[in-house]
Amino acid sequence: MLIIPAIDLKDGNVVRLYQGKKKDEKIYSCNPVVVACRWQNQGAKLIHVVDLDGAFAGEPKNLNAVKKIVQAVKTPIEFGGGVRDKQTIEELLEIGVQRIILGTKAVEDKNFLKAAFAEFKEKVIVSIDAKGGCVLTEGWQSVKRNLDIIKFASWLKKIGFRKVIYTDTSKDGTLKGPNLEGIRGILKNTGLKVIASGGISSLDDLVKLKKLQAQGLIGAIIGKALYEGKFTLKEALKIA
């Protein structure tokens, strides 16, 4: 199980939100590069970077910070937040981002998603951001009530995707534990590999997630628990 520390960017700072709400923001660092180097030094094999401003605006707003992170660390970076056209994907790959995360555009434009996968393959991955069984878009502000999570995930598999990121937004930033039922649902009903995100609060949560490896869970993205000192990245890596 791959343990992936998260760096959420807002106004150039490293922050965490509560359930994705802009008003519930806590700043942990004003220097994302220092944070990225910390995760690299503690053994991270992949770092998850999200441009929160970009997710809300519909286009990346913290690319300078992303460039500095990529230049400062050798650890591969995956990036998401406001990526909604081919040009942005190409720009991110050019500056050294390893994998691009698609969210809103993946839901709203099937032709774009098909074309993106056909051209970029494993360099793009879709994040299924969910709440109450529905898919969310536009920085988690819009609920697609007519789009079932399993239906969407199954469609992704038909296109050719082999893995997805699954985030229960009601859990994100809450430190209340991951949505194991939701994760199991995608694993069981789609056969996709899943990277779990949202709510991880303890090493025990990681132990529970690891038990899903045989079913296809391949990774866990961890944010607030690391920043709040619930456990260290090194401790998490020992469990994985």
Give the chain's radius of gyration (CA, Å): 16
State the DSSP H helix or E strand holding residue 210, giving kind and residue range, or none if neither: helix 203-210
Catalytic residues: 8, 129
Distances (CA, A) of 132 to 21, 94, 151, 168, 181: 16, 37, 14, 8, 12
Q: Kindly write down the DSSP assignment for every residue of 43-97, as one continuous string.
A: T-S-EEEEEHHHHHHTS-S-HHHHHHHHHH--S-EEEESS--SHHHHHHHHHHT-
Q: Could you tell me if 194 and 168 are in contact, meaning their C-beta atoms sit under 8 angstroms apart?
A: no
